[in-house]
């Protein structure tokens, strides 16, 4: 990685057409400027111009960045060059689930701020779990086909009844909504208890007994979150919430 970039110039070629401006070109320019480079910004304004550039330099994509006469490559290559990304890193990431649970926690605190005498109450924890269920269900619902395909890799019930993979997100989201509103416990409690128990057993078997390395469908079919602790936690939260609500209802 370059140490002193203050007086250096980078040459950038990127697509800037009337109907399309390449977003990665804009990101490359921004990154170079943040790293202290003066950018010689060359616009490829037509398809023919872009094709001619790629053929000349033997590349298949734009943008392309050159520093000190050497071609660095596209935006991803530029990130690696400046140490912003690891070229050998795999696709595994916990970022989506961290963001989701953080938003769920903040929403639960917002609910408690309005409705409760204190923020740190058992009901706040309950809202955190139920809101997490809604947000997790929403991630699955945005692409049911991809979710159900990934779900089939490990869920025991879905392997026996394929349609369960399509039903699951609706049950999770619906149960979460009902639990957040604290209504219709007769429906939300057994629903959450059922899918949570099946899910927990399925994940435990796949990860801790069969020792399989899979991606978790908990945040949708495009998830890069590893199957394991996160998915097990999701299911155990649903089970715990259902059990507590059932106990409260019976006392």
- pLDDT tens-digit profile of 84-101? 876 555 566 788 889 999
Range 103-117 average pLDDT: 92
Q: How far apart are CA 205 and CA 199, in angstroms?
A: 10
Which residues are within 8 A (CB) of 71 and not within 5 positions of it... i.e. 6 or more apart? 57, 59, 64, 65
Beta bridge partners of 246: none
Please report the beta strands in 147-189, taking only residues with DSSP state E, as ranges in sequence order.
none
Whole-model pTM? 0.77
Residue in 241, 231, 240 with CA at minimum distance from that of residue 208: 231
- Tens digit of each residue's pLDDT (9 = 90 or more) over 10-61: 999 999 998 899 999 999 999 999 999 999 999 999 999 999 999 999 999 9
- Tens digit of each residue's pLDDT (9 = 90 or more) over 163-211: 999 999 999 999 999 999 999 999 999 999 999 999 999 999 999 999 9
């Amino acid at each position: 990685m370059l140490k002193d970039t203050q007086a250096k110039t980078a040459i950038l070629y990127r697509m800037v057409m009337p109907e399309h401006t390449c977003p990665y070109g804009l990101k490359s320019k921004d990154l170079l400027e943040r790293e202290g480079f003066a950018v010689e910004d060359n616009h490829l304004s037509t398809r023919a111009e872009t094709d001619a550039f790629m053929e000349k330099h033997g590349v298949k994509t734009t943008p392309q960045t050159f520093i000190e006469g050497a071609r660095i490559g596209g935006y991803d290559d530029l990130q690696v060059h400046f140490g912003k990304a690891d070229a050998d890193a795999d696709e595994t990431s916990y970022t989506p689930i961290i963001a989701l649970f953080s938003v769920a926690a903040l929403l639960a605190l917002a609910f408690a701020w309005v409705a409760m005498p204190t923020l740190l109450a058992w009901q706040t924890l309950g809202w955190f779990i139920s809101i997490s269920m809604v947000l997790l269900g929403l991630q699955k619902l945005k692409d049911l086909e991809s979710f159900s395909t990934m779900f089939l890799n490990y869920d025991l019930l879905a392997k026996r009844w394929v349609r369960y993979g399509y039903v699951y997100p609706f049950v999770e989201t619906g149960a979460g909504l009902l639990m957040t509103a604290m209504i219709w416990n007769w429906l939300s409690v057994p629903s959450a208890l059922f899918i949570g128990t099946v899910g927990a057993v399925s994940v435990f078997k796949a990860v801790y007994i069969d020792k399989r390395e899979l991606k978790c469908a908990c945040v949708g079919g495009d998830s890069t979150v590893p199957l394991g602790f996160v998915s097990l936690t999701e299911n155990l939260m649903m089970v715990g919430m259902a059990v507590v609500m059932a106990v409260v209802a019976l006392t």
